[in-house]
Amino acid sequence: MGPLVPQEIIGADWNLFIAFVIGIGFGFALEQAGFSSSRKLAGMFYGYDTVVLKVFFTGAITAMLGLLFFSLFGWIDLSLIYVNPTFLWSAIAGGAIMGAGFIIGGFCPGTSFCAAAIGKIDAMVFIGGIFLGIFFFAEGYPLLKDFYMAGSFGPLKVSDFLGISGGVMTFLVIIAALVMFKLGELAEKKWPREEY
Amino acid sequence: MTTRNIIFLGLFLLGVVIAMVPENTTKPYKLTAEDMLIEIQGAAEMVSADDVAHWIISKDPSLQLIDVRSPDEFQTYHLENAVNIPLSVILKDEHRDMLDQGIKMNVLYSNGTLNSHQAWMILRQLGFENNYVMQGGLNYWFDTIMNPQVPSVFSSDEEFAKYDFRKAASGALGGGGAVAITAPAKTKADKPRVIRKKKKKAPAGGC
């Protein structure tokens, strides 16, 4: 039966409304996890707090498992799911820039809006930075275009690239996540910070 | 064991299960048996040979003829601008773009209507739109369009108009040796509605 929106079981108007509700839920979850504190996010880099890693990886593997089991039960047609196309070099550069911004600013785009919503000034400055970045990227697009489009792989999935099934890939990601959670907790013990 | 460790163990076990089971057993079929029965009884998938002849002659750009017979038969004779997709390879990915599209109107034909209908049913089950079957197939095409029979003197004007059109079409399509004397009669040629697919919107996301 699923996915609901591409098959128009849920119409375009409801789509926006549901996106709104999910957005609120996402913000609520971020705030509950304490992600509106820039120290929490920077802690990921310094090793004293790895909650960010745990929350996002748990979210990712829950979604992976959910999609694959839904597909197994015939509830969703995975071939209709939109997969972001891969542009290798811009993805690497974008990841590096976002990572640097993460450490320097203490927010990722989603959490900055959460923090701005509870009145954090630094988050508002961060959002200003996001808009500046968007502006300069858009204005400089003709210069960046070749690099932006380089290394196009289309909507490629890692599992297809490696030639393994989605299930095995999910299993590997779960193993990787559990190992990282363990390492994260060791790091928290090694570089603790009392008050932040 | 702490709650957290139980959750981790649960995730791990689910991962083991999902790694073991075969991937994506979701049936791509879109229509139930009841839906199919209703469609078949409605016979909305049929287009007449006269309509097809009219579209070929008027070089209708939305017409896409699909020959589901074997390549040998296709080589021997096929309708103008037809594409050969034998029934045996109809499920191959390379044909998907042509068979599942919103721009053109696909008209399937075979010698009779058995194979073209089999192909149509498979395509319909896959949820593909805009596929039709040429009524009577190529045999009927030869009997009526290429070698039209003169109607008896008691026939209605409509019969004669049809005959005139077929004679003209036959001339235009290089068959039967009939010479077009009268201009082709205006056939109704109500074309089945082409259903255009909506472009899928690309959702954007991120952290």
Q: One digit per residue, pLDDT tens: chain B, 207 residues?
A: 788 889 888 988 999 998 888 776 555 566 777 888 888 888 888 888 888 888 888 888 889 999 999 999 899 888 888 899 999 888 888 888 888 877 888 999 999 889 999 999 888 888 788 889 998 888 888 888 888 888 877 778 888 887 888 888 777 777 654 444 444 444 555 666 666 655 545 555 555
Residue B106, beta-bridge partner list: B64, B131
Residues of B in contact with A61 (CB under 8 A): 11, 15
Nearest residue of chain A to residue B206 (CA atoms): A110
CB contact under 8 A, B24 and A181: no
Q: How many CB atoms lie within 10 A of CB B92?
A: 10
Least CB–CB distance from A109: residue in B22, B25, B206: B206
Closest chain A residue to B5, measured at CA: A178
Q: Nearest chain A residue to B26 by CA: give it.
A: A74
Print the SS3 string covering chain A: CECCCCCCCCCHHHHHHHHHHHHHHHHHHHHHCCCCCHHHHHHHHHCCCCHHHHHHHHHHHHHHHHHHHHHHCCCECHHHCCCCCEEHHHHHHHHHHHHHHHHHHCCCHHHHHHHHHCCCHHHHHHHHHHHHHHHHHHHCHHHHHHHHHCCEEECCCHHHHHCCCHHHHHHHHHHHHHHHHHHHHHHHHHCCCCCC
> Is the CB of B20 inside 8 Å of chain A's CB atoms?
yes
Q: Measured between CB atoms, does B157 come within 8 Å of chain A?
A: no
CA distance A35 to A38: 7
C-alpha pair distances (Å), B61 with each of A30, A128, B39, B57: 54, 52, 26, 11
- Please check whether residue A45 is in contact with residue A118, taking contact to mean a CB–CB distance below 8 angstroms: no
Give the whole-angstrom CA distance, residue A173 versus residue A61: 7
CB contact under 8 Å between A167 and B18, yes or no, is yes
- Is the ipTM reported for this complex over the cut 0.90? no
Would you call A76 and B25 a contact, using CB atoms and an 8 Å cutoff?
no
The partner residue sitting opposite B27, judged by closest CB among A74, A78, A166, is A74
Residues on chain B touching A72 (C-beta within 8 angstroms): 18, 21, 24-25
Interface check for B200 against chain A (CB to CB < 8 A): the answer is yes
Low-confidence ranges of chain A (pLDDT < 70): 1, 195-196
b/e code A55-90 from CB counts within 10 Å (16+ = b): bbbeeebeebbebbbbbbeeebbbeeeeeeebbeeb
Please give the pLDDT value at position A14: 87
Of A8, A62, A71, the CB nearest to B24: A71
Residue B20 phi/psi, 5-degree rounding, is -85, -40
Residue B55 one-letter amino acid: W
Contact A167 B21 (CB under 8 A): yes
Q: Does residue A80 contact residue A3 with C-beta atoms inside 8 Å?
A: yes
Tens digit of each residue's pLDDT (9 = 90 or more) over A106-147: 898 889 999 999 999 999 999 999 999 999 999 999 998 888
Q: Is B28 on the interface with A (CB under 8 A)?
A: yes
* Smallest CA–CA distance from B8 into chain A, residue: A178
The nearest alpha carbon in chain B to A176 belongs to B12
A45: distance to nearest CA of chain B, Å? 17
Contact by Cβ (8 Å): B112, B139: yes
Which residues are within 8 A (CB) of B8 and not within 5 positions of it... i.e. 6 or more apart? Answer: A178, A181
pLDDT at B127: 79
Structure pTM?
A: 0.59
On chain A, the residues whose CB falls within 8 A of the CB of B25 are 71-72, 74
